[in-house]
Structure 1
């Protein structure tokens, strides 16, 4: 958002380098409320209604004009080059909204407008998603229980679930994570005592703490989705449970 001044990129506040976002135009700020959505549909001759096929949500782009308070000498420019010159997406958020972050990297040229002493840069950051994300939230439970999972985001979320077996888990006494609201039931029917099974519901993957052990054949792979609002979650079995998740926002 162009009315915000400071931002943090890759863990470093812009103020640390004497950099602030500025509005070089006049009048109202020009911001993008949501990234673009492309609709794919088919038309049939003689019909007035298109047949919907799918939509594609483009990744977020953030354009900024950033003022260099310490001038544009080569030392300062080298610092900025090293900061922005990354090979993968890094966390970014505006200091006024630390509860909303994206993972982004510079795309295209970085332009500098200056008089030889003072100036500002024009940069475009491209993210790896059409969504803003919350910081990581955590929920820990020492045993079987029922609790209300509150998702304050605007989209469904898919948690990372870490299950630690307190004893041997079998098909006669499985471990379950049940979303009472939707009826989803994630079930694991075999774990050794002390084993830790990490279940990534977003990327649909399982990882055991035991070497050369794979648990896909003893898990029903009904990965849990948490809709917006409040969802009662039931935890079943002789295990402890940890949830790690980010909420999503458009």
Structure 2
């Protein structure tokens, strides 16, 4: 994971900590200690008569880490109320730190937070953040809106540590078929057939969802092949068929 204990300011749910006159601190002396990657366990089954368990794989736990957050000035009850409303969300929200904006944790406060103060409305508090994943993500990456007249090769870089699935927006020009061929994924080919002129198509390649802006029309029976995915490294997609097309994705990191 990126180091975070040496970062002062952070953004949670789209709001920076300095809005509330808060900074992240550490009360430990000496060097910082942080988790490197998420906790992992071996999934295995013990078999009768053998001292070697049957190996099934690795299971990673969601990331979890503590934050110590200090008030830069004296606080009052209204300040506490605003901070509680901000940080103690009931849903996972993005968290990132100044200087590491491209590493985003999707997390939520858990456990029992505590406040440490001197009785003069000065001090800091501790909270534990738990992520919805064992991984960290980049900010949303949106490619330029490309116009394809006949066919065009679009290159997408995945600088993360995992294969990821994009969201794709397509606006058909004229009627016909759109083909997306991955030149680096063993020639994987995906097609949407029989589209109409100016039809807007949305693809969620992870969930294998396809939506059209035409009311009452479903395009699942027009899909051929496997939904595109983005491998680690450089990816070349050959798009065939007149359209405008745009990819959206997040790189996915172990740390």
Q: Which residue of 2 aligns with 1:84?
A: 87
Q: Which runs of 5+ in 2 are unaligned?
A: none
Counterpart check, 1:141 vs 2:178: no
The answer on whether the counterparts of 2:13 and 2:93 sit within 8 Å (CA) in structure 1 is yes
- CA distance in 2 between counterparts of 1:233 and 1:221 reads 14
Q: Which residue of 1 aligns with 2:159?
A: 152
Q: What displacement does 1:221 show?
A: 5.3
- CA distance in 2 between counterparts of 1:218 and 1:52 reads 41
- CA distance in 2 between counterparts of 1:116 and 1:86 reads 27
SS in 1 for 2:171: strand
- Alignment equivalent of 2:60, drawn from 50, 57, 62: 57
Using structure 2 for the length normalisation, give the TM-score.
0.91
Q: What displacement does 1:48 show?
A: 4.4
The answer on whether the counterparts of 2:7 and 2:99 sit within 8 Å (CA) in structure 1 is yes
The answer on whether the counterparts of 2:62 and 2:131 sit within 8 Å (CA) in structure 1 is yes
The answer on whether the counterparts of 1:186 and 1:224 sit within 8 Å (CA) in structure 2 is yes
Counterpart check, 1:94 vs 2:94: no
The answer on whether the counterparts of 2:44 and 2:56 sit within 8 Å (CA) in structure 1 is yes
Q: What displacement does 1:24 show?
A: 0.7
Counterpart check, 1:217 vs 2:221: yes
The answer on whether the counterparts of 2:189 and 2:225 sit within 8 Å (CA) in structure 1 is no
Counterpart check, 1:242 vs 2:249: no
SS in 2 for 1:32: coil
- RMSD, matched Cα: 1.5
- CA distance in 2 between counterparts of 1:52 and 1:237 reads 47
The answer on whether the counterparts of 1:70 and 1:76 sit within 8 Å (CA) in structure 2 is no
- Alignment equivalent of 2:235, drawn from 228, 231, 234: 231
